[in-house]
Amino acid sequence: MVGSARQPLARSVRAHFTSTSARLVAYSLVCLLASHAAVAEAPQDDAKWLEPARSRLMQEKGGLPFFPHRANTPNNAVLSIKDFDDAQVCGACHTEIYQQWRSSMMSHAWEDPIYRALLRHASQATEGRVDNFCTGCHTPIGLTTGQITSSVNRASIEFTAEHNPMPGVDCETCHNISARTGLDNGAYVLSPRAHGKPTKFGPRRDAVSPYHDTVYSGLHTRSDFCATCHNVTHPFSSVAVERTYDEWLESPYSFNGETCQSCHMPGFVGKAAMMGPERDDVASHWFSGANAAVLEYLGQKEAAQRARSSLREAAQIEFFHVPDRILPGQQVSVRVKVANVGAGHKLPTGFPEGREVWIDFHAVDAMGTEFYRLGAIKDGATEPGTRNFKVHLGDKDGKELDIEVWNATQILSDNRILPKGYDIREFSFQVPSTAVSPITLTAELNYWPFPQRLVDFLLGKDKLQVEILQMATISQHVVLAPTEPGVAAAGVGSGP
Range 169-198, binding ligand HEC (CB under 6 A)? 169-175, 185-186
Q: Are 402 and 353 in contact (CB under 8 A)?
A: yes
Cα–Cα dist 1/240, whole Å: 36
Write phi, then psi, for 325 (nearest 5 degrees): -130, 145
Residues in contact with ligand HEC, shown as a per-residue x/- string from 121 to 160 under the rule CB under 6 A: -x-------x--xx-xxx-x--------------------
Q: With binding defined as CB under 6 A, does residue 277 bind ligand HEC?
A: yes
| In the complex, least distance from residue 176 CB atom to ligand HEC, rounded to whole angstroms | 8
Near ligand HEC in 77-116, by CB under 6 A? 85, 87, 89-94, 97-98, 101, 105-106, 109, 112, 114-115
Write phi, then psi, for 342 (nearest 5 degrees): -125, -15
For ligand HEC, the closer of residues 325 and 346 by Cβ is 346
For ligand HEC, the closer of residues 22 and 119 by Cβ is 119
Span interacting with ligand HEC, options 141-149, 243-251, 358-366, 408-416, rule CB under 6 A? 243-251
Write phi, then psi, for 348 (nearest 5 degrees): -80, 170
CA distances, 202 to each of 167, 177, 233, 492 (Å): 20, 9, 27, 61
Near ligand HEC in 467-496, by CB under 6 A? none
Near ligand HEC in 58-77, by CB under 6 A? none
- Cα dihedral 419, 417, 296, 263 in deg (nearest 10): 0
| In the complex, least distance from residue 122 CB atom to ligand HEC, rounded to whole angstroms | 4
Can you say whether residue 142 is alpha, beta or left, with left for phi > 0 and alpha for psi between -120 and 50 degrees?
Answer: alpha
Residue nearest ligand HEC (C-beta atom): 350
Q: How many CB atoms lie within 10 A of CB 204?
A: 16
| In the complex, least distance from residue 293 CB atom to ligand HEC, rounded to whole angstroms | 8
Mention every residue, 6+ apart, whose C-beta is less than 8 A from residue 211: 93, 198
Please state whether the peptide bond connecting residue 140 to the residue before it is cis, i.e. omega within 30 degrees of 0.
no
How many residues interact with ligand HEC (rule CB under 6 A)?
99
Span interacting with ligand HEC, options 3-11, 49-57, 157-165, 290-298, rule CB under 6 A? 290-298
Q: With binding defined as CB under 6 A, does residue 119 bind ligand HEC?
A: yes
Cα–Cα dist 63/65, whole Å: 6
User: What size, in residues, is the chain?
Assistant: 496
Span interacting with ligand HEC, options 26-34, 47-55, 152-160, 213-221, rule CB under 6 A? 213-221
Near ligand HEC in 395-424, by CB under 6 A? 406
For ligand HEC, the closer of residues 410 and 430 by Cβ is 410
Q: Which of 51, 83, 213, 258 binds ligand HEC (CB under 6 A)?
A: 258
Q: With binding defined as CB under 6 A, does residue 390 bind ligand HEC?
A: no
Q: By CB neighbour count within 10 A (0-12 exposed, 13-18 middle, 19+ buried), where does 388 fall? A: middle
Residues in contact with ligand HEC, shown as a per-residue x/- string from 444 to 463 under the rule CB under 6 A: -----x--------------
